Amino acid sequence: MAMSLNGMIASKSGNEDFLSDTNWKSFGELVKKHGCFIIGRKTYETVQKWPDYNFNDIKARLKIVVSNDKDLKLAPPFLAANSPKDAIEKAIAMNFESAILTGGSTINSAFISANLIDEVIINIEPAIIGSGISIFAESDFEKRLSLDEAVRITDDIMQIKYKVNKN
Ligand SMILES: NC(=O)c1ccc[n+]([C@@H]2O[C@H](COP(=O)([O-])OP(=O)(O)OC[C@H]3O[C@@H](n4cnc5c(N)ncnc54)[C@H](OP(=O)(O)O)[C@@H]3O)[C@@H](O)[C@H]2O)c1
Quote the CA–CA distance of 5 and 124 in Å, as a whole number: 6
| Ligand 1 binding pocket includes 132 (Cβ within 6 Å) | no
* pLDDT, the chain, mean: 97
Give me the CATH number covering residue 109. Answer: 3.40.430.10
Quote the CA–CA distance of 100 and 109 in Å, as a whole number: 15
**Pairing outcome for strands 2-4 and 119-125:** parallel
- What is the rounded average pLDDT of the residues 109-120? 98
Count of structural domains, the chain: 1
pTM for the whole structure:
0.98
pLDDT digits (tens, 9 = 90+) for 120-132: 999 999 999 999 9
135 contacts 106 by C-beta, under 8 angstroms: no
What's the confidence (pLDDT) of residue 166? 86
Q: Residue 124's domain spans which residues?
A: 2-164
pLDDT digits (tens, 9 = 90+) for 3-15: 999 999 999 999 9
Report the nearest atom of ligand 1 relative to the CA of 110: 31
| Ligand 1 binding pocket includes 9 (Cβ within 6 Å) | yes
Give the Å distance between the CA of 98 and the centre of ligand 1: 20
* Atom 34 of ligand 1, residue of closest alpha carbon: 67
Report the nearest atom of ligand 1 relative to the CA of 16: 47
Angle at 120 between CA 74 and CA 125, to 5 degrees: 95
10 contacts 16 by C-beta, under 8 angstroms: yes
